[in-house]
């Protein structure tokens, strides 16, 4: 049966379609995307989009409904960092009027590759490194700009989550990048402190790579 759950029916709010997908997914005993696609009457890339929707912020579902992006465009949209996704939403009318909307979206991704690279690099830093930085902040009671007491707790939580194979949320990612920006701009050296350099050299190298692009990364 083609599109068994009407997941491609844009007259139904995306949140409702996603909820239906999750409910159906909880009733099956496998998560092999090819089998899921066969059972739902969709192709693999269409199912892949619904698998990725859980990474979106809550407000994005309504925004996507308003943009009128179809499933083909969403295949690219949902894989972009939140910053880039919101640029896509803001330019949705321009994108849809384009003779090649998919190419237009890819160009937006390329134009903002600094966002993608920085966010992917942040995700590569080890959990133990984040916990070490949190301890460093607490021991020295460092509070400066975006580096607050709250970020110490968050970095410790991020470290524990990563060690438990959980992902960094978009919100946590934003806080971390803003902290790295402030640290780098004011030459405080929190994220490249001697302990990080000595005990987490691979992570230290990642932070130095982030510094190469951080000034071009715009935050709210």
pLDDT in tens, 83-123: 889 999 999 999 999 999 999 999 998 887 666 678 888 99
pTM listed for this prediction:
0.59
CA angle 120, 58, 127 (to 5 degrees): 35
Rounded Cα gap, residues 188 and 183, in angstroms: 5
Instruction: Please say whether the beta carbons of 158 and 167 come within 8 A.
Output: no
Task: Please report the beta strands in 90-209, taking only residues with DSSP state E, as ranges in sequence order.
Answer: none
Tokens of 46: 């269409």
Please determine, for residue 134, whether its predicted confidence score (pLDDT) is greater than 80. Answer: yes
Which residue, chain included where needed, has tokens 């590759």? 113
Rounded Cα gap, residues 173 and 203, in angstroms: 16
Rounded Cα gap, residues 214 and 217, in angstroms: 5
User: Tens of pLDDT along 155-197?
Assistant: 999 999 999 999 898 889 889 999 999 999 999 999 999 999 9
Tokens of 193: 């402190």
Rounded Cα gap, residues 114 and 197, in angstroms: 24
> What is the H or E stretch that residue 34 is in?
helix 33-40
Maximum Cα–Cα distance across the chain: 62
């Amino acid at each position: 049966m083609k599109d068994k759950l009407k997941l491609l029916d844009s007259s139904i709010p995306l949140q409702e379609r996603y909820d239906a997908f999750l409910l159906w997914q909880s009733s099956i005993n496998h998560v092999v995307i090819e089998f899921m696609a066969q059972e739902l009457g969709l192709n693999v890339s269409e199912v892949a989009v619904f698998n990725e929707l859980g990474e979106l912020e809550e407000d994005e579902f309504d925004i996507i409904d308003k943009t009128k992006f179809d499933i083909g465009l969403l295949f690219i949209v949902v894989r972009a960092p939140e910053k880039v996704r919101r640029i896509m939403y803001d330019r949705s009318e321009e994108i849809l009027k384009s003779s090649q909307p998919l190419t237009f979206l890819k160009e937006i991704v390329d134009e903002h590759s600094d966002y993608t690279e920085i966010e992917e690099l942040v995700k590569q830093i080890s959990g133990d490194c984040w916990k070490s930085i949190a301890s460093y902040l607490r021991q020295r009671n460092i509070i400066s700009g975006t580096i607050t007491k709250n970020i110490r707790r968050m970095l410790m939580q991020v470290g524990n989550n990563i060690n438990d194979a959980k992902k960094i949320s978009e919100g946590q990612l934003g806080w971390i990048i803003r902290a790295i920006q402030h640290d780098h701009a004011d030459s405080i050296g929190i994220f490249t402190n001697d302990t990080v350099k000595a005990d987490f050299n691979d992570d230290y190298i990642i932070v130095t790579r982030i510094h190469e692009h951080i000034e071009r990364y715009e935050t709210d």
